[in-house]
Amino acid sequence: MTTFREVHALLRQHEAVAALVRIMALHSLNTSFGSKHLKFLAPDRAVVLDGVVCGRLGYRPDPKGYGEFLGDCHTVLREAQAASTPFPFPEEGTWRVSDIEMTIFQKLRP
């Protein structure tokens, strides 16, 4: 349980790459599975980097690639907010970085 608290604290401090490295040490998780844990813990600050995204967009399946993909998702999020792109479920809030990632994933999925 301590690991998840540490990871959550890192996510709150906007240290998602460090959080990924920490959670990957837990039972030797890979980037894909580790990043899924991060998204579950903080969907407003984390994304999933899996084989589909890596294979189709060329991100490396490691913490460095995760940081690059997360940064790119934040860029798209800022652009969507600046363009006042309507969120499809306004009763649930506004765009989060994980919503951007899921939108990208859906477009890439075979």
Domain positions in the chain are 2-108
Using the predicted structure, report yes or no on whether residue 18 has a pLDDT greater than 90: yes
Neighbours of 36 (CB within 10 A): 17
| Closest C-alpha to 41, from 62, 19, 57 | 19
- CA–CA distance, 33 with 36 (Å, rounded to integer): 5
Summarised one tens digit per residue, pLDDT across range 19-58 is 999 999 988 899 999 999 999 999 999 999 999 999 999 9
- CA–CA distance, 108 with 70 (Å, rounded to integer): 16
